[in-house]
Amino acid sequence: MLEDNNTVRLHRGNSMKNKYSRSNMKKEAKSIIVFLFCFSICRAAFPQLTHAEEDPFDQARSRMVREDLQGRDITDEKVLSAMGKVKRHLFIDTSLRDSAYNDHPLPIGEGQTISQPYIVALMTQSLNLKPTDKVLEIGTGSGYQAAVLSELVDRVYSIEIDKKLAKKAALTLKELGYQKVQVKQGDGFFGWPEHAPFDAIMATCAPERIPEPLIKQLKDGGRLIIPVGSTTFYQTLTLLTKLKGGTQLKQISPVRFVPMTGEVEK
Ligand code: SAH
């Protein structure tokens, strides 16, 4: 009998415990659901905050903007903001990531280089872009400059002569969500007549003389920024403005770019 009573008490105690832990588990599950819900709302509402926390290069990029761009003559707020947004480290080989935000050019494969951030910013700033502009870039390379341009304008068309680089850049831009950029493999000497006229054109490879088709494909009032020169050591960064059919040239600074190859060499 005694044993039976004890057994009964024991059973009751266990069922009480079970009830207690079941309700506790329910409460915990509820809190976890509420937490996950709030977290996903915050992530959606403030992507830049959660993103910044996840980006180990955030500080390096801010330093680059502050010291290497603002510290020199890059004053256009929109250009500074675009340079602060685009993750240069994702356009280069992983082994080079630690130097992604230093102000110098970096190799991108196939014997080509990505320009130093200051030159990317200077060329972008000199085009004086409006959000509605349609821009053509000659020399996609890694796709980094095209990504910077796409932060500022509506549409970016970019031509790369090297098959491997064109394919890789198109994939990188797609994976990073740069939907406004369209890349094609071809010789940029001929421009992209199907999408002309352009508000602005940027060449990131250097011809000895400015290709005529590029001037033709500019709108009236359109700007072309291009390194021009015959040596492999340096060229002159030149800004051409098309005005009433004529052209106005302004020399900006000495620069060092890889040569434009293809038709322009003939
Ligand atoms: N803007 C690039 C870097 C450009 S490097 C970036 O942000 O990464 C210059 C590029 O111009 C090289 O990839 C080279 O293959 C390409 N190029 C050279 N001649 C060209 C031509 N005629 N048409 C298109 N691209 C050309």
pLDDT digits (tens, 9 = 90+) for 1-48: 333 444 334 344 444 445 555 666 667 767 766 666 655 654 555 544
Predicted confidence band of residue 225 (pLDDT cuts 50, 70, 90): very high
Query: How large is the C-alpha radius of gyration of the chain?
Result: 28
Say yes or no: 173 and 111 in one domain. Answer: yes
User: Same domain for 20 and 92?
Assistant: no
State in Å: Cα 45 to ligand 1 middle.
Answer: 38
Ligand 1 neighbours, Cβ below 6 Å, are 108, 112-115, 138-139, 141-142, 144-145, 159-162, 165, 187-189, 204-205, 258, 260-262
Instruction: Report residue 237 as tokens.
Output: 């960064």
Query: For position 186, which CATH number holds?
Result: 3.40.50.150
Same domain membership, residue 59 and residue 22:
no
Task: Specify the ligand 1 atom closest to the Cα of 120.
Answer: 7
Same domain (yes/no): 177, 159? yes
Alpha carbons 169 and 172: distance in angstroms, whole number: 5
Alpha helices in the chain, H assignment, sequence order: 2-45, 47-54, 58-63, 77-85, 117-126, 144-150, 163-175, 212-216
Ligand 1 centroid to Cα of residue 247, in Å, is 24
Catalytic residue among 115, 126, 150, 158: 115
pTM value is: 0.82
Tell me the torsion sign for CA atoms 192, 141, 154, 72: negative
Our CA angle for 113, 124, 147, nearest 5°, is 65
Q: What angle do CA 233, 239, 240 make, to 5 degrees?
A: 125
Number of domains forming the structure of the chain: 2
Same-domain check for residues 70 and 102: yes
Indicate if 115 belongs to the active site.
yes
Of 30 and 119, more confident: 119
Distance of CA 188 from the midpoint of ligand 1 (Å): 9
Mutate to test the pocket of ligand 1, among 92, 258, 264 (most ligand atoms within 8 A of CB): 258
Same structural domain, 112 and 18 = no
Residues with Cβ within 8 Å of 167's Cβ and at least 6 positions away in sequence, in order, are 185
Per residue in 163-178, pLDDT (tens digit) is: 999 999 999 999 999 9
Same domain, residue pair 39 and 163: no
User: What mean pLDDT comes out for the span 200-213?
Assistant: 97
Q: Which of 104, 138, 212 to mutate to test the pocket of ligand 1 (most atoms within 8 A of CB)?
A: 138
Lowest mean pLDDT among 34-38, 90-94, 224-228, 257-261: 34-38
What domain range is 23 assigned to?
5-49
Do 81 and 163 fall within a single domain? yes
Same domain flag for 179 and 117:
yes
Q: What local confidence, expressed as pLDDT, does residue 45 receive?
A: 53
Calculate how far, in angstroms, residue 205's C-alpha sits from the geometric centre of ligand 1.
5
Distance 236 CA to ligand 1 centre (A): 17
| Token pair for 78 | 């929109």
* The pLDDT value given to residue 63: 97
**pLDDT (0 to 100) of residue 39:** 56
**Helix (H/G/I), strand (E/B), else coil: 39:** helix
d(CA 220, CA 139): 23
Alpha helices in 137-176 (DSSP H): 144-150, 163-175
Residue closest by Cα to atom 13 of ligand 1: 141
Same domain, 73 and 121: yes
Instruction: State which ligand 1 atom lies nearest to the alpha carbon of 147.
Output: 7
Environment class of residue 126 by beta-carbon count within 10 Å: exposed (0-12), middle (13-18) or buried (19+)? buried
Q: d(Cα 171, Cα 140) in Å, to the nearest integer?
A: 12
Name the residue at shortest CA distance from atom 16 of ligand 1. 139
Taking Cα atoms as reference points, which of 103, 105, 149, 106 lies closest to residue 130? 149
For residues 94 and 174, membership in a common domain is answered with yes
Answer yes or no: do 37 and 56 share one domain. Answer: no
Q: Tell whether the model's pLDDT for residue 127 goes beyond 90.
A: yes
Q: What's the chain's average pLDDT? A: 87
